[in-house]
Structure 1
Amino acid sequence: MSSNSVEIHLSNSTMGFSTTTYEDETIVYMCSNDESIKFGAAAVPFFYYTVFTLSLLGNGLILFLLLKYEKIKTVTNLFILNLVISDLLFTITLPFWAFYHSNEWVFGNGMCKVVSSVFFIGFFSCILFLTVMTMDRYLAVVHAVSAARTRKLIYVYVASIAIWVISFVSTVPKFVLYGTRKHDSAGILCEETGFSADKIDTWRRLGYYQQLTMFFLFPLIVILYCYTLIVVKLFNTKMHNKDKAVKLISVIVLAFFICWTPYNVVIFLRLSPGDPCNDYLNNAFYICRNIAYFHCCINPFFYTFVGTKFRRHLSALLGTNCLSMFRRSSSSSRTSEYSPQTIYE
């Protein structure tokens, strides 16, 4: 392919682009990535369809129980509602990406922009809501007296609006950059295109820095700090089942760390000098990204079914006694200042 004449194939269904020839421009296509594309086609679709099914059932069930049995206008429930919505936004895009990885992008240039934008809005907001919910639990447990006065609904509304605005703004570059282009062997692709290689590389690197700082290091620091102080607070109380609460917190922190650290390490390596078309690094990116995406779909369970009330709602819905195995721990913790359940209720 000559660097002086590059053809860009874009769908004209929405944006009105057609095949165009650019003279004296750098090459628009960043990498051929043939081997990585083949690896993605083999590994990604099944995983995406599986996560889509589990997330849709799990988050759909939580949303149904929340609307049917709970008062929505409480601090905890409003945060859970927003978290479920962000996960569902992320989830509904997965079938598009699954089909795309096993075939090609057949949904048009406009849908490429819309689906990628919805995907990243759900992705970013999920992480931020997890972070804010951790801070809220910290206030409720460590500063229970003052939190009773400050944890008002306006506090939830402001935090939620801020998170959605940040998520939308962070997604704008994705909407602008993403589009369709023709690949010689892979067919029509949905990725960053339509600009010079230097511009795409610059925006891609900015996106990586944004992911590392705003959507990994900051949440990780907040989660470690808040849960450490929560654990210290629990050990200083007369709580009977504090070990169970500490184990629950450990699982939540480890799940976040294990799921998100490999993905962000690979992103960091992509920022380092080296071959940007390294197939081993790109394959590792596929694997680690899928692990991170899976966490976005399972995290609502940590914030709902660890508490007795959601298990009670599920029991009422199914007409069974799902709480029998938990009766002993629930009754023994009634006289305690805290219980494992009240950490997330």
Structure 2
Amino acid sequence: MGEYAGYVFTGDDLLFDDNYDYSNSSIGYEETCCAGNVCDQDRSMEFAAVFIPVLYSVALVLGLLGNGLVLAVLWKKKRTWSVTDTFILHLALADVLLLFTLPFWAVEASRGWIFGTALCKITGAVFKINFYCGIFLLACISVDRYVSIIHAVQMYSRKKPWVVQASCLAVWFICCLLSIPDWLYLSSSYDPRRDKTECVPLYPVPQGNWRSGFRWLYHILGFLLPAAVMVLCYTRILLRLCRGSQNLQKQRAMRVIVALVIAFFISWTPYNLTLMADTLQTNNSSASGNASCDTLTTLDISLTITSSLGYLHCCINPVLYAFVGVKFRQQLVEMLKVLHCPLKSRMATLSRRSSMWSETGDTTNTSAF
């Protein structure tokens, strides 16, 4: 699978060019293996052609439904947004925009990239922007809650709502900067080894060095740094709540915190560990040229599975950051009443259960979730 077919960072981003000397290439996958034969990738391609379209279709439907409800509720109460509401708004927008790119990668996995280079650059850059933006916003939410709960300090004043909007726009700007390589290097290119056209980056020579550099940039900014921020913030919050009185509201707040952290790591840790293993394997293969075809195929399939499961985090976000909120459910019940939805009685029952940050104290700086 190509690097942007569902954003799997495999070694298949080598683009075949009649004017390029492949004998001096530094990327591991184009090295010969298995007694001098080029590795057969039919197994990984056949698996991706079935697995990715199915899973991405499920993610698209569930993600658009969940995030759409979040956006609808936020729009209805736009005059009373809190800081957390604003972050969740941008998070939902990022998830929706990311989900809109999944059909393109699903088509690429099954039929190849048929949309041309221009749409390849646009789709890849949009995916990269919203992928980073979603993760960075999760880190911003954790920092805001950490400062509010641990230090009882409001980072953002209600009298100046533009400050939190400016912070979110700064996140979007940083993510746009991180997408510059996609605008520069993404291209629709035919790979004769795989007999299909793919949307992949064509880096300057030596491609291996550029590819490794961008991979480690992703490892650090796309996982390690935000993960460290979330763990630090939520660990301190949990310790603070544990030292306080163990009432029902705080116990439920602790469960929410644990759910946030666990969901993030369950979604993204397998992919990042597999990607790091692939990065190390590729570097070792470039140096020694002794990578086995079975190893490379296993890594290809593992990256397809773990990356696809990671993108389901877009579907989990609405549940974790909104659906467990009492006031969100109350707003949703009101909307269902207008639509005369038969589920309103069930939702009304759920809305009476106390379970979220707004009930742990005013210092949480949350009004709707």
Q: TM-score, normalised by structure 1?
A: 0.83
Aligned residue in 1 for 2:196: 187
Q: Which stretch has the larger CA shift, 125-134 or 176-185?
A: 176-185
- Residue 110 and residue 45 in structure 1: after superposition, are their counterparts in 2 closer, same or farther (change >3 A)? same
Aligned residue in 2 for 1:248: 256
Q: 1:323 aligns with which of 333, 343, 348?
A: 348
1:78-122 Cα deviation digits (max 9, x unpaired):
111111111111110001111111111111111111111111111
For the pair 1:55 / 2:73, whether they are aligned, the reply is no
Shift of 1:40: 0.9
Q: 1:225 aligns with which of 221, 232, 235?
A: 232
The whole-number CA distance in structure 1 between the counterparts of 2:236 and 2:55 is 36
Structure 2 residue matching 1:106: 3-state secondary structure: coil
CA contact under 8 A between 1:48 and 1:98: conserved in structure 2? yes
| Within-5 A mapping of 1:170-209 | 170-184=178-192, 185-193=194-202, 195-196=204-205, 198-199=206-207, 201-209=208-216
Unpaired runs of at least 5, structure 2: 1-15, 31-38, 286-290, 338-343
CA contact under 8 A between 1:55 and 1:297: conserved in structure 2? yes
CA contact under 8 A between 2:136 and 2:171: conserved in structure 1? yes
The whole-number CA distance in structure 1 between the counterparts of 2:177 and 2:156 is 32
Unpaired runs of at least 5, structure 1: 1-18
Aligned residue in 1 for 2:329: 311
Aligned residue in 2 for 1:38: 46
State how many pairs are aligned.
321
| Within-5 A mapping of 1:265-304 | 265-272=273-280, 273-274=284-285, 275=291, 278-304=296-322
Letter paired with 1:193:
L
Shift of 1:328: 5.2
Q: 2:164 aligns with which of 156, 159, 178?
A: 156
Letter paired with 2:330:
R
Shift of 1:180: 1.2
- Residue 132 and residue 344 in structure 1: after superposition, are their counterparts in 2 closer, same or farther (change >3 A)? farther
The whole-number CA distance in structure 1 between the counterparts of 2:199 and 2:354 is 51
Q: TM-score, normalised by structure 2?
A: 0.78
CA contact under 8 A between 2:139 and 2:230: conserved in structure 1? yes
Q: What is the identity percentage for the equivalent residue pairs of Structure 1 and Structure 2? A: 33
Aligned residue in 2 for 1:210: 217
Shift of 1:42: 1.9
- Residue 341 and residue 48 in structure 1: after superposition, are their counterparts in 2 closer, same or farther (change >3 A)? farther
Letter paired with 2:309:
I
CA contact under 8 A between 1:307 and 1:341: conserved in structure 2? no
- Residue 56 and residue 209 in structure 1: after superposition, are their counterparts in 2 closer, same or farther (change >3 A)? same
- Residue 23 and residue 96 in structure 1: after superposition, are their counterparts in 2 closer, same or farther (change >3 A)? closer
Shift of 1:310: 0.9
